[in-house]
Amino acid sequence: MGPDRTQMKRLKRPPWPWGPGQAAATGCRGREGGFTRTELATVVLLLMVVGGVVWAAVQGTGEPRRTWGCRARLKTLGEAFQTYAMEREHALPVGAVRLGAVESAWDREIAKGMNPTAGDAGLDKLAQWFRCPSDAEPRGEGQARSYSMPMYELRDEGWPPRRLSMGGVGLYLDPDRLRAARESDATLGDSWPVMRVTMVPAPAETALLVERIAIRNVLGSPTFACILHPREQWAAKTLERPKFHGGKFNYLMVDGHVERMTERESGGHTGSGGVWTLRPDD
């Protein structure tokens, strides 16, 4: 009777690399206790070093990623503004309204088109689109809103806007400003003034939304929905300005594109100008 084939296969099978057979062949001692404490400490140290390198890399790319996320959200809001304007003969939503019991803001108006089936709850469901990913400033009440419309000051500029007007595109309507508009334009009668895209001489050079990081800038509120000057953009208490977008802000223009620049590049610290006004040559 010949040899058992199973036994022959077992005899030909090479020894396990770290078993007794291999230890004898290499002159190494076998061990049964796994890693030593020294080896474990070395592995842990290496993992800590690698983890630190990875964490530093993630931190380094975090703010640029949030900056681009902000740009993407502004572009989405720009599309919502364009849809709003196309459905209303080129009209832009009023920046802020505070007339007795009537209170509203631009974000409430464009949210109706972004989520038509949601009704009054549409704005809350879309809250993420109105907050810059870099805006970690806590709000006392309400959800954060990171953007405001450059304000057209009716009491100073009158109505309708002139070509060389120093006002922005965001109308703020309260009793005093509405009275000023009707006094300067008798054709208004009992109606409200309406800013239209066709009134903007240079849409690619005029800001529609600017970033405004402030504790009182909250979703749906007329407070801080409009802004007059670049120096009002930053009112954060818990964030470091140089780290926010690398010291710059994102600006959504009337034509729908987004630019990133400093306050000074946008219009200066001493007053409004540049992209902040309807005037094309400032």
What pLDDT, on a 0 to 100 scale, did the predictor assign at position 271?
53
| Residue ranges covered by each domain of the chain | 63-276
Q: Identify the three-state secondary structure at position 233.
A: coil
Question: Residue 5 and residue 226: Cα distance in Å, rounded?
Answer: 89
What pLDDT, on a 0 to 100 scale, did the predictor assign at position 97?
97
What pLDDT, on a 0 to 100 scale, did the predictor assign at position 32?
54
Pairing between strand 170-173 and 147-152?
Answer: parallel
What pLDDT, on a 0 to 100 scale, did the predictor assign at position 46?
63
Which of these, 81, 92, 105, lies nearest to 221 by C-alpha position?
105
Low-confidence ranges of the chain (pLDDT < 70): 1-35, 37-61, 117-121, 268-272
